[in-house]
Structure 1
Amino acid sequence: MSRTLLKDVAIIGGGLVGSSAALALRRMGFSVALLEKGFCGAQASGVNYGGVRRQGRPPEQIALSQRAHAIWPRLKEIIGIDGEFVSSGHLKLARTEAEMASLESYAARVAELGLDLELIGRSRIRERFAWIAGDVAGASLCPGDGHANPRLVSAAFALAARRAGAEVLEHTPVSHVEKVPEGFHLSAGSGTEVRARFVINSAGAWAGTFAEAFGEPVPLRRIYPSMIVTEPLSVFMNVNIGAEGGGIYARQVERGNCIVGGMRGKPAADLDFSRPTGSGAVTIMNRAAALFPALRNAYAIRFWSGTEGEMADRNPVIGFSRTTPNLIHAFGFSGAGFQIAPAVGEVLAELVRDGESRTPIEAFAIDRFARMDQGSPVGSVPEPLKRETSK
């Protein structure tokens, strides 16, 4: 049976960004349709590693990350559960002197941005984190960072948006979207039509298709981060672990399971899905066992992978379209969107309501790649198209 929905905002993509935007918009009084081709939070938002970190982000992301940092401790108030969020701290290891120099350089670059990074030398690592083995040259600790359970958090934001009055439509893929004089017309699922004044394109790894339909092609590609969870072990890991240069990250939850990642999976025949590889799983576990002796005899009980969109410069696209009034993009989080997503949702709601955000997002403009191709300075951002009124 066909139906037509009249909404202020239609959101394409029910991941954590889209769901948090839907919730924020409903709290501002806007009517919202959230359109998801599968289950909300079932792609990158729900199957990622679960790191809630500010450390290591490019300086242009820190303001957004700091805004999100204030949201995570309030999850229970906002979505009804704490999402197993733990402010454990994030320890980034340097395995070589060159990596330690890189950590020192990064700490200097963000020194005034409020991360309160602590650089720890080789001997102090041994004293403070005796469970870390190997020839570690040092580390950088961001004490306020942590980790959470993405499978809980992503679904809970979508549920909170539904409870707040958003129309959440799962298994409703958007097949067509076009600009019309009164706003946008979307066709989705089997006979669902949506007419909305605003559209938010938060379709993750699938967002490029919608951007290109409005004349805004971007260098978005799919990546497939792969993770492993071990059997429950005695708790030994008291921080969220990363490594300068990549290759390994690990955290341990209260019940003792360790989540370990650092390799990529393989796309399935249906490119919407992926699978971890046996060789990748062995590589990750060997790397983990070399650094963390407590894992050397641990059973790995589950492996998984997910589909994520990665931008060429590893910064997301967030902000108004440069071709189409009232179209807003938010995608391309390049494997690092989990921590900032709740803040991105608030930013998107502010763009709808106010036409601008109190958090700087100029660096994430969708036309930055075209400007770089044309030789314009990276910081040269043209004025956005005039925003149409929302009501």
Structure 2
Amino acid sequence: MNDFARDPVRADVIVVGGGFMGAATAFFLRTHGLSVILLERDLIGQAASGTNFGNVRRQGRYLPQLPLAHRSRDIWGRLPELIGEDVEFLPSGHLLVTTRSDDGARLEQYAVDCKAWGLDLTMMTGDQARAMFPMVGPEIHTVSYSPHDGHANPRLAAPAFGRAARRAGAHVVEQAPVLSITKDSTDFIAETADGRVYRAPMLQVSSGAWGRKMAALFGEDVPMAPQGPQMGVTEPMPYRVAPVIGSASSVTDEGVYLRQVKRGNIVFGGGRRSTADLETKRARLDPMNTLRQMPQLARLLPAIARLRVIRTWSGVEGYVQDSLPIMGPSERVSGLFYAFGFCGHGFQLGPGVGATMAELIATGHTDIPLEPFRVGRFQRNAANAAAYSPHA
């Protein structure tokens, strides 16, 4: 046994995975007075948390997820004073737009339904939207406007929380791949590739697309697959697109979105996703996806057709079968918690996930409803289906 194993590092909580969810949880655990070890295989925020689009939106979400999104939006508005850093959050508004009447009707119904969940949206016709936002394309005829949403820089957010956690006293360890996680009668034991051993009575898995493998170590399987969303950025043009603009189309190829940063570049994404490999930690970049995106983006913002695309990229993200994350306590192992599998829409939720998971771990409860995101929902659904099956 090496010296590291004989003298393990101990804390109240181990957080495995230093993406946005893990880094935010580590920071908020320190505000509850708990000691925490944050283990990241590479660098904080290097994976999906740093390669996503940067959307800070609430509209269009699964309705029971809105309490979590509201909590997160409140924290987004206080980040500089809370963590001491600016992550370029701009509450510039968010537009969901449609070109089809059936998609427009769906937007109208969502605007009615979300009021009971505390979200007020402004519905507009295409002409009304163009009077307020002249850059919107002529094909757009129904628009949902969320004025207090916006966007931020994903390359800054998770690392900022990681630094804030470290300043608050968290033991943040980067370039520390976790080779094994076990549990004895009192503690979880995590061993990293350099032979170091970490012990704590509580552990959170926040390892993104790799979360399924770690949950399976404790007998909880999740129907989740890795995929790579297609992102890109154009050359700059004069700044005039304040809100995020996204298509609410039910057609996959049309489901694109864009935002302009103050430097003038247009960041975009959406449409089809590519394949991703958990072993190589790489997502396949398909140039044809970019070509499919461009005419759809021009329907939202005609001016983009004149711009050159200067860079494209992807990242490895985990997509759960029902498009909802895994969040909350294990249903098999005491002291074990999960926050992974946010299906490409977790960036806005990051601060709220961290605050909620830290609250749950520190106090044993949270007022944020997590039942729809519990890890055991798939087993329960399978059991229910078998119970009512004529062949069971």
| Coarse TM-score class (shorter-chain normalised) | over 0.9
Q: CA deviation at 1:350?
A: 1.1
Q: What does the per-residue CA deviation read over 1:27-61, in whole Å, with 9 as the maximum and x for residues that have no partner?
A: 22111111111111011111100000000001110
2:311 aligned with 1:302, yes or no?
A: yes
- For the residues of structure 1 that align with 2:348 and 2:300, how far apart are their CA atoms? 25
* Contact 2:231 2:267 (8 Å CA) reproduced: yes
What's the secondary structure of 2:267's corresponding residue? strand
What's the secondary structure of 1:155's corresponding residue? helix
2:229 aligned with 1:235, yes or no?
A: no
Q: How does 1:262-277 map to 2 (within 5 A)?
A: 262-263=270-271, 264-267=273-276, 270-277=279-286
Stretches of structure 1 lacking an aligned partner (at least 5 in a row): 377-391
* Contact 1:65 1:340 (8 Å CA) reproduced: yes
2:358 aligned with 1:349, yes or no?
A: yes
Q: CA deviation at 1:122?
A: 2.8
Amino acid in the other structure paired with 1:225? P
Q: CA deviation at 1:134?
A: 3.5
2:213 aligned with 1:209, yes or no?
A: yes
* Contact 1:229 1:302 (8 Å CA) reproduced: yes
**In structure 2, what is the equivalent of residue 99 of structure 1?**
103
- For the residues of structure 1 that align with 2:376 and 2:350, how far apart are their CA atoms? 21
Q: CA deviation at 1:358?
A: 2.2
Q: CA deviation at 1:285?
A: 2.2
Q: CA deviation at 1:266?
A: 3.9
**In structure 2, what is the equivalent of residue 389 of structure 1?**
none
Stretches of structure 2 lacking an aligned partner (at least 5 in a row): 386-392
2:207 aligned with 1:199, yes or no?
A: no
Amino acid in the other structure paired with 1:150? P
CA pair 150-25 structure 1, distance change in 2 beyond 3 A: same
Q: What does the per-residue CA deviation read over 1:286-318, in whole Å, with 9 as the maximum and x for residues that have no partner?
A: 322233122122111111101111111111111
2:152 aligned with 1:143, yes or no?
A: no
2:342 aligned with 1:333, yes or no?
A: yes
* Aligned residue among 124, 136, 144 for 2:128: 124
2:63 aligned with 1:55, yes or no?
A: no
- For the residues of structure 1 that align with 2:131 and 2:61, how far apart are their CA atoms? 27
Q: What does the per-residue CA deviation read over 1:329-382, in whole Å, with 9 as the maximum and x for residues that have no partner?
A: 111100010011111111111122111112121111110111111117xxxxxx
Q: What does the per-residue CA deviation read over 1:165-185, in whole Å, with 9 as the maximum and x for residues that have no partner?
A: 111111111111111111211
What's the secondary structure of 2:230's corresponding residue? strand
CA pair 207-155 structure 1, distance change in 2 beyond 3 A: same
What's the secondary structure of 1:82's corresponding residue? coil
* Contact 1:119 1:138 (8 Å CA) reproduced: yes
Q: CA deviation at 1:2?
A: 4.6
Amino acid in the other structure paired with 1:261? G
- For the residues of structure 2 that align with 1:14 and 1:331, how far apart are their CA atoms? 11
What's the secondary structure of 1:171's corresponding residue? coil
CA pair 280-51 structure 1, distance change in 2 beyond 3 A: same
Q: What does the per-residue CA deviation read over 1:181-227, in whole Å, with 9 as the maximum and x for residues that have no partner?
A: 11211111211101101000111000001111111101111121111
- For the residues of structure 1 that align with 2:379 and 2:259, how far apart are their CA atoms? 39
CA pair 164-269 structure 1, distance change in 2 beyond 3 A: closer
2:322 aligned with 1:318, yes or no?
A: no
What's the secondary structure of 2:115's corresponding residue? coil
What's the secondary structure of 2:78's corresponding residue? helix
* Contact 1:2 1:190 (8 Å CA) reproduced: no
- For the residues of structure 1 that align with 2:280 and 2:379, how far apart are their CA atoms? 27
**In structure 1, what is the equivalent of residue 389 of structure 2?**
none
What's the secondary structure of 1:254's corresponding residue? coil
- For the residues of structure 2 that align with 1:231 and 1:110, how far apart are their CA atoms? 37
Amino acid in the other structure paired with 1:56? G
* Contact 1:74 1:82 (8 Å CA) reproduced: no
**In structure 2, what is the equivalent of residue 248 of structure 1?**
256
Q: How does 1:50-199 map to 2 (within 5 A)?
A: 50-199=54-203
Q: CA deviation at 1:23?
A: 0.5
**In structure 2, what is the equivalent of residue 17 of structure 1?**
21
Q: CA deviation at 1:269?
A: 9.1
TM-score by length of structure 2 reads: 0.93
- For the residues of structure 2 that align with 1:52 and 1:268, how far apart are their CA atoms? 27
195-204 vs 126-135, which deviates more?
A: 126-135
127-136 vs 250-259, which deviates more?
A: 127-136
- For the residues of structure 2 that align with 1:269 and 1:111, how far apart are their CA atoms? 40
- For the residues of structure 2 that align with 1:327 and 1:16, how far apart are their CA atoms? 19
* Contact 2:227 2:283 (8 Å CA) reproduced: no
2:266 aligned with 1:258, yes or no?
A: yes
* Contact 1:260 1:285 (8 Å CA) reproduced: no
Q: CA deviation at 1:265?
A: 3.5
2:24 aligned with 1:32, yes or no?
A: no
What's the secondary structure of 1:282's corresponding residue? helix
* Contact 1:2 1:193 (8 Å CA) reproduced: no
CA pair 269-193 structure 1, distance change in 2 beyond 3 A: closer
Q: What does the per-residue CA deviation read over 1:65-84, in whole Å, with 9 as the maximum and x for residues that have no partner?
A: 00001000111112222211
Amino acid in the other structure paired with 1:373? A
What's the secondary structure of 1:374's corresponding residue? helix
**In structure 1, what is the equivalent of residue 372 of structure 2?**
363
Q: What does the per-residue CA deviation read over 1:95-149, in whole Å, with 9 as the maximum and x for residues that have no partner?
A: 1001100101111211222211011113212322221224212110011100000
- The number of residues matched between the two structures is 377
